Each structure stands twice: as structure tokens, then as C-alpha cells.
Structure 1
Amino acid sequence: MIEQTMTVIAVKGLRGELQAEAKKPCEGCNGRCGSQVFNKLFKTDKKTLWFDFQEAVEVGQKVTLSLDDRNLVAHSFYVYLLPLVAALVFAMFAALVLEIGEGGQILSALLGGIFGALVAKRRVSQFKHEIKLVKIYPISLPLTQIDGD
């Protein structure tokens, strides 16, 4: 399970808009590792998520959600590896079986990558990611008492 503490930023009935807290760099590299550099280069607006609660929540309240990671490896395979493998297979087929020149091999690799991406898109849309509510924290507690850091 992957857990994330989020803050309620808007409420409409029992439906709340949640915003993830920014992750701080670890002490080992102090923010100079690849993931932190990538995050700084492609920084986007903070992501939000609408979630349906069973009980009322207030703006500013902290909640912890969990994501079932059973399909995460399969999802990653389809999104990252399938287009690459399809591109290589199409290029090798063009070179070894069809005996096409370099330009045709490049075009075949491009077609294979597109084919792999389309198959991946179709397969990934069938996955169901189940998000569960782990805990709703009282609004009066400071964050240090919640996480125990």
C-alpha cells in the first residue's frame, strides 16, 4: 500500500478536494538527487484530487489515503516497457525479415512505438486503482503530532 497525507482545501457536501503535501528532499543528498532535480525542472502546479467521504470534513483538515499497489508493476510495464519493446521488435523485423534499409527500420521502429503506446493505453485503462481512506485527523492537532516525526 502506498499512503499519502493530504489536506482538504475545498468541501462540497461529503465530497472534498484534497491537495498532497510537498515532499521534502531526504537528508542523504539534500535535494541534489535525480528525482529532486527532475521535480525542480518539471515543476507543475500542485495536484488535487476529489474524494467522496462517508462523514463531513472541514477545510484544513488532514486525511491519509492509501493506494493499492497490486497493479502498479503491470501498469509501469505497459506504459514504459511495451512501447520500447514493440519499437525494437518492429525494427528488427524490418531489418532481418523484410531486409529494409536504415530509413525503413527507423520508420518501422516509430510505428512499433506508436503501436505499443496504443496497446498500453488500452490495457492501462482497464486497471482499477482502489483508493481507500485510512484516517481523518482532527483539525485541532498540529501536524507534528499526527505524523510523529
Structure 2
Amino acid sequence: MIEQTLSVAKIRGTTAYLQAEPKPACEGCNGKCGSQIFSRLFGTQKKLFPIELHESVEVGQKIKLSLDDSKLVNHGAWVYMTPLMGAFIMMFIGAFLLNLSEPFQILFALMGGLMGFIVARYRVGRLKHQVKVVKIYPISFSVKQIDGD
């Protein structure tokens, strides 16, 4: 099981939109590692995760969710392997069965990769992940330090 604590960003009816807590980047590389560079290039736009809740929650409240990781391997195999296998199969068809020149073999490989991508997208859309609410944390009160404590 994979568990993650998220906070409620907004609520519409019985749907709560959850947002992941930002994780601080490591300080070891002083911002020169690949993840730092990619985050600067592509931004850190925060995604909202909608989930149906029957309990009463408020904006800012923390919720711990769990995800069954048994289907993640299946999901990853479809996403990564199907386009790759489609490209290889079409490239071999163009090369060995049709005796095409190299530019046409590359074109066949691109078409096979695109077909594999379409198949993977269709197949992955049918896979359902079971996300369960583990715990809903109560709203915390702000704590102020008083002199002498």
C-alpha cells in the first residue's frame, strides 16, 4: 500500500478536491540536479485530486489516502511497453517482410509507436485504482507561543 497525506483545497457538494503537500527539494546539489532543472523548466503546477467523501470536511483539513500498489506494475507495463513493442514490431515488418529502405522503416516504427500509444491509452483508461481514505485528521488550532513557556 502506498499512503499519502493530502490537504483539502476546495469542496463542491460531496466532492473534496485534495492537494499534495509540497516536498522540499534536497539541498545537496544546490539546485543543479535534474529534478531541480525540470521543475524550473516545466513549473510546479499543483494538481487537484477529486474524491467523493461522505464525511464532513473543511478546507485545510488533512486526509490520508492509500492506494493498492498491485495494479501499478500492470499500469506501468501498458504505458511503457506497448508503444515500444508496437514500434519494434512495425519496424521489423517494414525491414524484413516488406524490404523497405531505412527512412520507411523509421516511419513504420513511428506509426507502430503511435498505435501502441493509442492502445495503451485505451487500456490504461479502463484500469481502475482503488483509493481508500485511511484517516481524516481534525482541524488543528493555531498555536502561539507565550513568553515564559
Q: TM-score range by the shorter chain?
A: 0.7 to 0.9
Q: In the TM superposition, what is the alpha-carbon distance from 1:68 to its structure 2 partner?
A: 1.5
Please tell me the root mean square deviation across aligned C-alpha atoms, in Å: 2.0
Question: Which shows bigger deviation, 28-37 or 123-132?
Answer: 28-37
Q: What residue ranges of structure 2 are gaps of 5+ in the alignment?
A: 143-149
Give the residue type in structure 2 aligned to 1:76: G
Q: In structure 1, how many angstroms separate the alpha carbons of the residues matched to 2:126 and 2:108?
A: 28
Secondary structure at 1:76 match in 2: helix
Give the residue type in structure 2 aligned to 1:56: S
Question: Which shows bigger deviation, 112-121 or 42-51?
Answer: 42-51
What is the count of residue pairs matched by the alignment? Answer: 142
Q: In the TM superposition, what is the alpha-carbon distance from 1:33 to its structure 2 partner?
A: 3.5
Say which one has the larger Rg. Answer: 2
For 1:89, the equivalent position in structure 2 comes to 89
Q: Return structure 1 stretches of 4+ with deviation > 6 angstroms.
A: none
Q: In structure 2, how many angstroms separate the alpha carbons of the residues matched to 1:131 and 1:120?
A: 22
Give the residue type in structure 1 aligned to 2:99: E
Q: In structure 2, how many angstroms separate the alpha carbons of the residues matched to 1:31 and 1:70?
A: 34
| TM-score, length of structure 2 as denominator length | 0.83
Q: In structure 2, how many angstroms separate the alpha carbons of the residues matched to 1:15 and 1:98?
A: 54
Q: What residue ranges of structure 1 are gaps of 5+ in the alignment?
A: 143-149
Pairing 1:1-149 to 2, within 5 Å after superposition = 1-26=1-26, 29=29, 32-140=32-140
| TM-score, length of structure 1 as denominator length | 0.83
Secondary structure at 1:64 match in 2: strand
Q: In structure 2, how many angstroms separate the alpha carbons of the residues matched to 1:36 and 1:3?
A: 24
- Superposed CA deviations along residues 18-54 of structure 1, whole A, max 9, x for unmatched, are 1111122245546544334323322242100221112
For 2:145, the equivalent position in structure 1 comes to none
Percent identical among aligned pairs is 51
Q: In structure 2, how many angstroms separate the alpha carbons of the residues matched to 1:70 and 1:36?
A: 30
Q: In the TM superposition, what is the alpha-carbon distance from 1:130 to its structure 2 partner?
A: 0.9
Q: In structure 2, how many angstroms separate the alpha carbons of the residues matched to 1:60 and 1:42?
A: 26
Secondary structure at 1:99 match in 2: coil
